[in-house]
Amino acid sequence: MKEKIYLYLIGTAGSGKSTLTSSFKNWLDLRSLSSVTVNLDPGAENLPYIPDVDIRDWISLNEIMDNYGLGPNGAQIACADMVALNSEDIKKSIDSFSSDYILIDTPGQLELFVFRQSGKYIIDYIDKDHSIIAYLIDYSLAKNASGFISQLLLSLNTNFRLNKPQINILSKSDLLNKKEKEKIEKWSNDIESLRFSLEIENPSIYREMNEKILNLIGDFDNNIMFNLVGKNFYGIEDLYTSIQIQFKGGEDLLKD
């Protein structure tokens, strides 16, 4: 029986999870590799792809708000737990497809999936042994050393909470200029370069905190592995290769 690979796209709101889901799906289609898209965000609107499995078939954010008299934030929290309650139906729907890749677009608010127990429960219930995280680092929050470090800390927290193989991605890197991109690439490969950039920032408590956080991050291999530009597929082949190395020892499905 063919083993499916479950790719969970996780990141802060606006980091490009849905865009990457769509782009990776299209990239796989062009190479005749089968994939399934799964939307786990009950409040999602105007997705750039048509989900094969959609949590909105079972849960409606607006209905939760109306039925329980909740505001948007309270309803999102309630929905996060309800998604876990529908794990069996989600798994059955996914299993009805015969595909190489399952691309899972998680809720826009990172904390709803990562910091609540329901997120880890969903991953483990659907398939704990063949799941990998693609963590999207928002380019706009990574332009200075302090912002970059705060993004790496969120990535590290995600890895700690979900305890799955993880690939870090700099999303929407086409919106960075050449100098900004080169600077972030250097930081991702040389922690001392990142430390130097942090030290020349204006002195503040925030900078001092980030210096201590950087010492923690330095103990983990959790840096960005490559840049990603979703619109023209740049970087997606690197994502594909990294996943194949993780689960197939580098075996390329394109050669089958």
| Percent of the chain whose pLDDT exceeds 70 | 91
**Does pLDDT of 254 surpass 70?**
no
Distance between CA atoms of residues 65 and 225, nearest Å: 40
Alpha carbon distance, N-terminus to C-terminus of the chain: 15
**Does pLDDT of 1 surpass 80?**
no
User: What pLDDT score was predicted for residue 114?
Assistant: 95
User: What pLDDT score was predicted for residue 26?
Assistant: 94
Mean pLDDT across 141-152: 90
**Does pLDDT of 222 surpass 60?**
no
Q: How many CB atoms lie within 10 A of CB 99?
A: 17
Backbone phi, psi, residue 31, to 5°: -105, 15
User: What pLDDT score was predicted for residue 221?
Assistant: 57
Nearest 10 degrees: Cα torsion 157, 201, 185, 113? 20
**Does pLDDT of 207 surpass 70?**
yes
User: What pLDDT score was predicted for residue 59?
Assistant: 93
Distance between CA atoms of residues 194 and 188, nearest Å: 8
Residue 187 or residue 216, greater confidence: 187
User: What pLDDT score was predicted for residue 173?
Assistant: 82
> pLDDT of 76-123, one tens digit each?
889 988 999 999 999 999 999 999 999 999 998 899 899 999 999 999
Residue 77 or residue 220, greater confidence: 77
> pLDDT of 22-32, one tens digit each?
999 999 999 99
User: Which tokens hold the place of 68?
Assistant: 């329980």
User: What pLDDT score was predicted for residue 219?
Assistant: 75
Confidence of residue 251 (pLDDT cuts 50, 70, 90): low
Beta strands 5-11 and 53-54, pairing class: unpaired
User: What pLDDT score was predicted for residue 172?
Assistant: 84
User: What pLDDT score was predicted for residue 18?
Assistant: 94
pTM metric for this prediction: 0.91
Backbone phi, psi, residue 101, to 5°: -125, 140
Residue 256 or residue 136, greater confidence: 136
| Percent of the chain whose pLDDT exceeds 90 | 48
Residue 187 or residue 217, greater confidence: 187
Contacting residues for 180 by C-beta, under 8 A, at least 6 apart: 143
Mean pLDDT of the chain: 88
* Alpha-carbon dihedral sign for residues 214, 216, 218, 224: negative
Domain 5-189+222-255 architecture: 3-Layer(aba) Sandwich (3.40)
Domain ranges of the chain: 5-189+222-255
